[in-house]
Structure 1
Amino acid sequence: MPFFIWLFRVLKIKWVKWGLIFGVSVFVFFIGLYFSIYLGLFGKLPSKEDLSSIKQEQATQVLDKDGALIGKYYIYDRQPLTFDKFPQHLIDALIATEDARFYEHDGIDNVSLARVFFKNIILQDKSAGGGSTITLQLAKNLFGRKDYPVFGMLINKFKESIIAKRIEEIYSKKEILTLYFNTVTFPDNTYGIESAAQKFFNKTTNDLTRSEAAALIGTLKANNYFNPRLHLQRSKDRRDVVFNQMVKYEYLSKDSLEFYKNQDLVLDYRSFNHDVGIAPYFREQVKKELAVILDSINTNEGKSYDLYRDGLIVHTTLDFKMQELAETAMREHLNKLQSDFEASFGKQTPWKTNGQIFETAIKSLNKYKFYKKQGLADKQIKDSLLLKNEIELFNWKGDTIQNMSTIDSLSYYLKFLNTGMLSIEPKTGAIKTYIGGIDYRYFKYDHVSQSERQVGSTFKPFVYTAAIENGMNPCTYFSLGEVTYKNYDNWTPSNSGSNEENSYLNYNLETALSNSINTIAVKVLNEVGIPKVLEQAKKMGISKELPNQPSLALGVAEINLKELTGAYASFLNKGHAVMPYCITKIEDKKGNIIASFKPQIKKDEAFTDYTRQVMLQIMKSTVNSGTASRLRFTYNLTNDIAGKTGTTQDNKDGWFVALTPNLVTVTWVGNDNQAIGFRTTGLGQGANSALPIFAKFYQKLNTDSSFNNITKSKFESPTVKVLEDLNCEPEKRDGFFKRLFSKKNKTKDFKGTE
């Protein structure tokens, strides 16, 4: 029987005819769908020209003074690399696991597709794999996938195959691998191999070991399922699968397989999330400053730079290692201090038992203000604020999740002490450490750049500096006795632990300041005059308008911590105050400098070198024998240190200023709610609340030889005249007749405002 007659008879069979019609229809449908996609009916496909100029969003990197990565600003966490930065074992692991025929196909691996068709579809053998290639994955990475009502997966696959073909025509295999490694998604929303290497192993891609590289490649199969941060053992098992693939395709010898499988997978995880990681308050401040800076700079094309997409490189003054030590010291001290703080109140906790404090705090809540605007009555608002839900809470022993209402949460958070700490280079103002609070995730308010708190006795050096600068001899003696200033509502400043016997003692300036004597500070202010002290503070960089009243001597002025630090730097910088700064230069993604910054140093000297040396000697005494002597006797610090403690009324704020030849450090501790103070001066004084942060920090610096330029630096020797002018008895006692006939409670006018 002739073939055509046989074929005609077969086609007349009903099921054959309909089967053939169905098959041809499907074929025509696929061909039609493919060409409609090719022609752009389902969305414009990138042309060869588009693909030739691929521009990927890149994270802006924030680097410390030595180029160490401390943070990023991004929409997608991506840091591109060039091909020469990829170690060969990383490339081998990728190809062996994801696309063994990568160097042989043109974007579509027909051999693999045939294998998938027969094994997966016909024989139902899932071991055949998916048939995807690195180039196909790259197409998906670059352009993503869209949702379509029907045939969504098929349309996306066709689009990716067309794009993959075009990519292969434009780029070499090396260039494709480079694009792939820079765009592929790793766990924790991390884009690109460099970001993944930095995040999971705290190293550059070039330094990844074979085990680390295989582990990261292993996560590509399922980011979350094989995330080593969440599932370390599962990730290790997947890494071993990658090693098996490398052996199978002869990228790794069989003999070495067991050796690599037996290696532990050790993470050194560093999150670059905006709220966590090293120096989050510093990074937030840098971001604020960058927003202003970039607003005045344009690209060569005349466009504005995008902080989150343009891959800028921001060089800062921060010292990564020093910051780590500072944060550790802060946590160690605040953890214990918080416990002591809560224990000191017993059951009489002001954040629970003081109705006025709590009611005021409730009314300051954003939620309360929102409901109030909606016209709700106070009872309705409180009912809404009492609704409970699960929330994550900060805790020094480890964060917890509890079922709490907004009011419960407020009561919980009201008790926490907070802190601010800043260390700068005194000759330039370069910021070395920056701690704006105890935990940025829960306490966004920055106590370095945003906060203004009463500075207490840390203001006294401004008073004494003005006095010496205006001719007062350091050996001038003042009585400790209390004085009532009748022209200021009979105000009577007193000293901590004062008694009647002390009123007959007289201290020179060194003893008075090093022991932070309140009565003498006011008397010195009265002698030199408030206007001259205000002028002195302004010369030292304090820009805020300060109160024109006698209590200025006791630090009632509210001053920003950053500004206070810059002012104190003048004692170490030949009388020149500095403006603390954090950014040195900004580069575009190609390394071109688009902005650079120099130290901002006050041009005019705030005081003479004689005054500077006298004040340094006095503040050395504060550390050696005065209110900060626990640095010597409790923390055993033998370094050259000068300083000043500070405590405000009702123990609301504790301060410590530390001056060392090459570093100025200011620490503050208090409650965010200024109505809540320490219960006792012993607990709340600056020497106990703020000083230990610096002490622990400096202890850690002392153990690291890389900080010898700071810890082993020495103050210059004072001149002979300075030493002679300070060479007098620290105190004098009134004679018998003076004690007999002098009034115990003196009353006079305060004349220092004239």
Structure 2
Amino acid sequence: MKRSVKIVWQIFLFGFGALILMLLLANFGVFGKMPSLQELENPEADLASEVISADGQLMGKYYSENRSEVKFNEISPNVINALVATEDERFYDHSGIDAQALARVVFTLGTQGGGSTITQQLAKMILKQGRGNILVRGTQKLKEWIIAVKLERNFTKEEIITLYLNRAPWGNVYGIRNASRTYFQKEPKDLKIEEAAVLVGMLKGFIYEPIRHPKAAIDRRNTVIGQMVVAKGHYLTEAEAAKLKAKPIITNYKQIDENIGIAPYYRRALIEVLKDWCKNNINPKTGEPYDLNTDGLKIYTTIDSRMQKYAEEAMQTHVPTQQRKLDWTLKQRGSKLWKGHENIIENAIKYTERWKNMKEDDIDPETIRKSFDIPVRMKIFSWTGNDKHEKDTVMTPIDSIKYHKQLIQNSFVAMDPRSGEVKAWVGGIDFKWFKFDHVTAKRQVGSTFKPLLYTLAITEAGYTPETQIPGGSLTLGGKTITGGGGTCAYCLAQSKNACAWRLISVIGVKKLIEFAQLCGIKATIPPYYSIALGSAEIPMLQMLQSYTMFPNRGFNTEPVFVSRIEDKNGNLLHEFPIAQSKQVIGEADNYTMVKMMEGVIKAGTARRLNSYNIPTQKAGKTGTTNDNTDGWFIGYTPTLIAGTWVGCDDPFIPIYSSAGGGEVAAPEWGIFMQKVYGDRKFENYTAQKEFNAPAELKNDPIFADANFENILNSGDSLTEEIGNGDASDFLDMDAPPEPTKPVDTNKNKVPKKDDKAPAAIIDDKSKIKKPVPKTPSNTDY
């Protein structure tokens, strides 16, 4: 053997040995952790967890990489053929590494294409390796080869190509399903050849994205179509390819935007509940707690997408009307509104992106502050703008802050009072612009708190709808309230503050707080007499829970948000128990309250609801706070309960100077209920038209509608007394009240068969016992 030949063989054998050694070292993890055989046999991409409505609609996702899996038979052959023709035409022949392609790369120095197979590209995705220098890339390539060979030995070609398409990135969109939905609003199985070619072409780089780079995209698409002609599979004829290349790219692009999905405020609030669940439940495949962003969970909620749609439409119909009225009021007051509240604006400035960005650029605070007084072009939220509620304008950043703070916000929740299932959730006027969720926020509840007080008057103090509550003045804890009186039913219907003031003198502050806690209110209620008028700050959901007893025969029901959680394969992981219900008042007394609260709509502060076509009995209560900074209405039908709140973020801004809760909040409830009761798909809610009356009371003359109307209208005025006071207006509840003439609450009392209140509330001497308060949960919702 010649010396030169011997040297060549030595170099070859040394190189081959070095390659084998490097492969062994890579396989044993010397160059970085390698996935185990078990991990390769069960490869899992990071999958987004999907939130699904009660009626089967995809509401949104939680993810680090937004992707959804599909099976091989759910992918169009057009996608498979285009991918193989373009990326790996010998895919069905090699065992993970294409020697012919590698040789081409070596001899052409990569000028005629790369040598990575589809399997190698999948291996690269599994390893999640970044870029590096030539040595790093060399070791990474060895690892890719090893993984590629192992994948080929453990999976069929169909499984490999499915795994690849489920992992592949299209910009910030992951997986063929999301790419197909984003660019063509189609499932992958429905993609045409030219559409599949566009998506496969994008795998070469985002410079071929059809929306931003249409010319490059069409050139790349045509290259892919050309490859489908000349590739080994001959997937197209020349004539077919020519016809397809002549077509323009027609997309139906719609970005996956979590800001505009179904019930975005609800999905944001749900995150904490789901994180707690994940932390306390172990994924058997990983031995670690479930990961909401990567484990592909399917979360089935109680939200009904159609009710959610109606709730949002009701908000978008009603709130702009109220905003126009507020804008008119603000024009009259001008800059006086912000006098004394300048600190709110100054604090808000420091939370803006403008302030943060300029601060990061090391601009001094004084210069940054001055920039907020200089007019600039900007987008603002506007009901009169485009469909996105955006409007281009020029104003100073500080005026922009004031403008957005003067926008009326909203919360609306609907739920089934029997099951506790939350059916609709609106936490603000636009999630993209305003992320703060007003459903879970605490606001003063105004007169919506009064039904709890009147319930105790009925169940504990012996009142009936016709019991007269005297008007006049009464001083409690140093605060005097003056106003008219009337029957108990009339005073509730007209929201008489003086009457509520007299009732709290009979019932007592502590007893009212204890009853509120029994009804599910976990928020701290300050021990002041003013709570009778609604000075307490309570979240919407807790107020709704306290009202569930009225349409539910005296049973209080906790809200329920999720029905079950499944893994990505549909296996049940957790089924949430049905709502917990407990009886808090007797059925007959409860029906008395329902009839009295019907009066609020029949002839009281919410009588404007009679103008809506809601073909069922309905009851509820309006609520306003001092200076009309909050407007509430919580109402119910025999099968559905809903509450709405309107107000500005900062509670010193009045929403409308001459409006009561019946005007500023109740119409939204009416619009929603009118839509629900006009939809035949909701027969399970709309079939029952009347409240359930206890058998012993059905013929009782007290509850006959004719007599009830007389009771309801036996008062001295028809105006709502607005305002509820706050803690600063009142002395401590322990201060002795001024002597007042006792109210003979039993004077007009008519005995009823179930006149006894629940034993947990009243003892033998008819004095209220302290109920055992429910243990508060970790969240308000």
With the length of structure 1 as denominator, give the TM-score of the two structures. Answer: 0.79
Q: Secondary structure at the match of 1:102?
A: coil
2:546 aligned residue:
567
2:699 aligned residue:
720
Q: Deviations over 1:360-387 (max 9, x none)?
A: 443477669xx9xxxxxxxx85654444
Report the CA distance between 1:30 and its aligned residue: 8.7
Q: Secondary structure at the match of 2:277?
A: helix
Aligned: 1:133 with 2:117: yes
Report the CA distance between 1:280 and its aligned residue: 2.1
Q: Distance in 2 between matches of 1:363 and 1:491?
A: 37
Q: Structure 2, unaligned stretches of length 5 or more?
A: 356-363, 717-737, 744-766, 769-781
Aligned: 1:220 with 2:209: no
- Larger helix fraction of residues: 1
Instruction: Tell me, yes or no, if the aligned pair for 1:135 and 1:164 is still in contact at 8 Å.
Output: yes
Q: Secondary structure at the match of 2:480?
A: coil
Report the CA distance between 1:750 and its aligned residue: 8.5
Instruction: Tell me, yes or no, if the aligned pair for 1:385 and 1:407 is still in contact at 8 Å.
Output: no
Instruction: Tell me, yes or no, if the aligned pair for 1:539 and 1:606 is still in contact at 8 Å.
Output: yes
Q: Distance in 2 between matches of 1:701 and 1:26?
A: 81
C-alpha change, 1:561 and 1:80, in structure 2 (3 Å) is same
Match of residue 324, structure 1, among 309, 315, 337: 309
Aligned: 1:464 with 2:481: no
Amino acid at match of 1:445: F
2:416 aligned residue:
425
Q: Deviations over 1:457-498 (max 9, x none)?
A: 21222222222223212123446x5x332454352345xxxx
Match of residue 662, structure 1, among 629, 635, 639: 639
Amino acid at match of 1:556: S
Report the CA distance between 1:622 and its aligned residue: 2.6
Q: Structure 1, unaligned stretches of length 5 or more?
A: 12-20, 372-379, 495-502, 735-746
C-alpha change, 1:137 and 1:354, in structure 2 (3 Å) is same
1:642 aligned residue:
619
Q: Distance in 1 between matches of 2:282 and 2:390?
A: 43
Q: Secondary structure at the match of 1:76?
A: coil
Q: Distance in 2 between matches of 1:203 and 1:629?
A: 48
Q: Deviations over 1:224-247 (max 9, x none)?
A: 64155x567976786676566556
C-alpha change, 1:159 and 1:511, in structure 2 (3 Å) is same
Report the CA distance between 1:653 and its aligned residue: 0.3
Q: Distance in 1 between matches of 2:741 and 2:275?
A: 48
Aligned: 1:474 with 2:454: no
Q: Deviations over 1:382-419 (max 9, x none)?
A: 65444469987544434468899875554343222222
Q: Distance in 1 between matches of 2:429 and 2:505?
A: 39
Aligned: 1:443 with 2:443: no
Q: Secondary structure at the match of 1:726?
A: helix
C-alpha change, 1:486 and 1:158, in structure 2 (3 Å) is closer
Q: Secondary structure at the match of 1:77?
A: coil
With the length of structure 2 as denominator, give the TM-score of the two structures. Answer: 0.76
1:199-218 → structure 2 map (5 Å cutoff): 199=182, 205-206=188-189, 213=196, 215-218=198-201
Aligned: 1:613 with 2:621: no
Instruction: Tell me, yes or no, if the aligned pair for 2:637 and 2:691 is still in contact at 8 Å.
Output: no
* Most deviating of 704-713 and 155-164: 155-164
Amino acid at match of 1:631: L
C-alpha change, 1:615 and 1:184, in structure 2 (3 Å) is same
Match of residue 630, structure 1, among 597, 608, 613: 608
2:130 aligned residue:
146
2:276 aligned residue:
292
Amino acid at match of 1:574: R
Q: Distance in 2 between matches of 1:657 and 1:92?
A: 58
How many residue pairs get matched? Answer: 689
1:695 aligned residue:
670
Aligned: 1:59 with 2:48: yes
Report the CA distance between 1:356 and its aligned residue: 1.7
Amino acid at match of 1:164: A
Match of residue 710, structure 1, among 685, 688, 698: 685
Instruction: Tell me, yes or no, if the aligned pair for 2:408 and 2:648 is still in contact at 8 Å.
Output: yes
Percent identity for Structure 1 against Structure 2: 33
Amino acid at match of 1:426: P
Q: Deviations over 1:571-611 (max 9, x none)?
A: 122211111121222233444433332133232x2222222
Q: Secondary structure at the match of 1:271?
A: coil
1:209-608 → structure 2 map (5 Å cutoff): 213=196, 215-223=198-206, 225-226=208-209, 246=228, 249-251=233-235, 265=250, 267=252, 269=254, 271=256, 273=258, 275-300=259-284, 302-346=287-331, 348-349=333-334, 354-363=338-347, 383-387=367-371, 394-396=381-383, 397=385, 398-399=389-390, 407=398, 410-449=401-440, 451-470=441-460, 471-478=462-469, 481=471, 483-489=472-478, 491-494=480-483, 507-530=486-509, 532-603=511-582, 605-608=583-586
Q: Distance in 2 between matches of 1:48 and 1:547?
A: 59
Report the CA distance between 1:455 and its aligned residue: 0.8
Instruction: Tell me, yes or no, if the aligned pair for 1:211 and 1:263 is still in contact at 8 Å.
Output: no
Q: Distance in 1 between matches of 2:347 and 2:456?
A: 43
Alpha-carbon RMSD: 4.2
C-alpha change, 1:438 and 1:106, in structure 2 (3 Å) is same
Amino acid at match of 2:404: Y
Amino acid at match of 1:466: L
Q: Distance in 2 between matches of 1:548 and 1:271?
A: 48
1:43 aligned residue:
31
1:23-172 → structure 2 map (5 Å cutoff): 38-40=23-25, 43-44=31-32, 46=34, 49=37, 51-112=40-101, 129-150=113-134, 156-157=140-141, 159-172=143-156
Instruction: Tell me, yes or no, if the aligned pair for 1:330 and 1:693 is still in contact at 8 Å.
Output: yes
1:190 aligned residue:
173
Instruction: Tell me, yes or no, if the aligned pair for 2:201 and 2:217 is still in contact at 8 Å.
Output: yes
C-alpha change, 1:217 and 1:568, in structure 2 (3 Å) is farther
C-alpha change, 1:86 and 1:520, in structure 2 (3 Å) is same
Q: Distance in 1 between matches of 2:213 and 2:312?
A: 28
Q: Secondary structure at the match of 2:443?
A: strand
Q: Distance in 1 between matches of 2:520 and 2:188?
A: 45
Instruction: Tell me, yes or no, if the aligned pair for 1:385 and 1:405 is still in contact at 8 Å.
Output: no
Instruction: Tell me, yes or no, if the aligned pair for 1:93 and 1:246 is still in contact at 8 Å.
Output: yes
